[in-house]
Amino acid sequence: MVVNLPAPTGYYPVGVTDWYLDDADRADPWTTGHRELMVQIWYPAADRPTAPTAAWMPPGGREEQAEYLTRLGVPAGSWTLAPSHSRRDAPARADGRTFPVLLNSPGMDDTTGWSTAQAEDLASHGYIVVAINHTHEAFAVQFPDGHTEHTQVPLDSPQHILPGLLLPTRVADTRFVLDQLTAATEQPGRAGLPPQLAEDFDLSKVGMFGHSLGGSTTVQTMHDDHRVRAGADLDGPILGSVAADGLDRPLLMLASDTSPWFGNPGWEPRWATNTGVKIPLRIAGTQHMSLCDQQIILPQLTAAGLLEPAKKAEAVGTIDTARSIDRNGHTCLPTSTPTSASPAPTSPKRSPGSLSRRCFLTVKPACIRRSGVCVEPPLRIPFRSISSSSASAGGARGRS
């Protein structure tokens, strides 16, 4: 069967490119060489792009997906992924606009392809999403010369390896990528990016989000680098020095219904150290893997009889897929919203002038719990610090 990817809901066509980066000044902690990275970038593309359609996942991501589904009992060779909605290396927009940049860090062992739906939708609404494959921790990363680097981290690694080695390496990766984005804007013709893309970066408006350990990476990167002005932690623990020091910038904590580190006595003191705008939310009926593309893939396999319903529920919960994705901007990630108060998703036919990047997130009722209580009416969470609009964004509103 063919597993389909939902279409982006925004105005802009979407381009995607792979970007090779070589950090010659930093040793790789997993090998004897220096640190090399592959970065995937989704962006608003020029109108009517003719570039070829990109795959949903890069080769390493497809390899990881196959291994994951085999562990869940899905017969090998019984499924394939449809292409994405992005155009490979399409020219970026050249109309004088610049776009906020959202960094993305995947979960432990995961690759950037596992957040394709989120990234495409954000790009269609006027964001540039820069997702980082953390080499030798990601399941498999393919480089331009064709060779593939696999994970060097055993999944049963001692817990201390997370804050002690993985987290600092991930944060250093992220800060290096941000440095390279800055360098690309200074010498756009030498960056090795599609035409006009480097000129479209607005690095005065940088945010970050990540799932699981990628969420932990988001929070610690914000602590270490004030260029990141707001963030979203998608079901990741708060680790590292930020746990004691806290943050002074906007942070969304989005937890699955069964999150072991959200709302427990050990979590409360860590959350209390944050002095900026902070929004803790839990999504009812979800599991840890609901906050990535598995929320799209597994229900389709179950409907086709290839995955047992109990296995699907164990991985992504019982929440309805349409509600999880359509109502929450692809699992409640940072997204633009229409300037009106209407809860309907933005139509691809809307003009770009009808969009506002004032809001970091719009949460609809019925599926979100705040402190265990459903939020109603819709909760609007400001992403004022990376807003491209001069209009003031209101504070979060809702009943708790």
382, part of any domain: no
Residue 164 confidence (pLDDT): 82
Burial class (CB within 10 angstroms; exposed 0-12, middle 13-18, buried 19+) of 335: buried
What is the model's pLDDT at position 375?
Answer: 33
The H or E element containing residue 256 is strand 251-256
> How far is the C-alpha of 292 from the C-alpha of 378, rounded, in Å?
22
309-316 vs 294-303: helix crossing angle, rounded to 10: 170
pLDDT at position 291: 87
Specify if 366 maps to a domain.
Answer: no
The answer to whether residue 142 is domain-embedded is yes
pLDDT tens digits, residue range 85-107? 999 999 999 999 999 999 999 99
Residue 356 lies in a domain: no
pLDDT score for 398:
26
**Whole-prediction pTM value?**
0.83
Task: Give the range among 4-13, 51-60, 247-256, 371-380 with minimum mean pLDDT.
Answer: 371-380
Bigger pLDDT: 55 vs 390: 55
Let me know if residue 365 belongs to a domain: no
Give the residue carrying structure tokens 């080769």: 59
pLDDT band for 155, please (50, 70, 90 cuts).
low
Predicted pLDDT at 278: 87
Question: Residue 171: which domain range?
Answer: 2-332
**CA 398 distance to own-chain centroid:** 25
> Cβ(384)–Cβ(359) under 8 Å?
no
CB 22 within 8 A of CB 102: no
The whole-angstrom distance between residue 134's C-alpha and the CA centroid of its chain comes to 14
The SS3 of residue 233 is strand
Query: Does some domain include residue 319?
Result: yes
Domain count, the chain: 1
Percentage of residues in the chain having pLDDT higher than 70: 78
Cα(208)–Cα(54) distance, rounded to whole angstroms?
24
In a domain, 359, yes or no: no
Residue 358 within a domain: no
For residue 232, what is the domain's CATH number? Answer: 3.40.50.1820
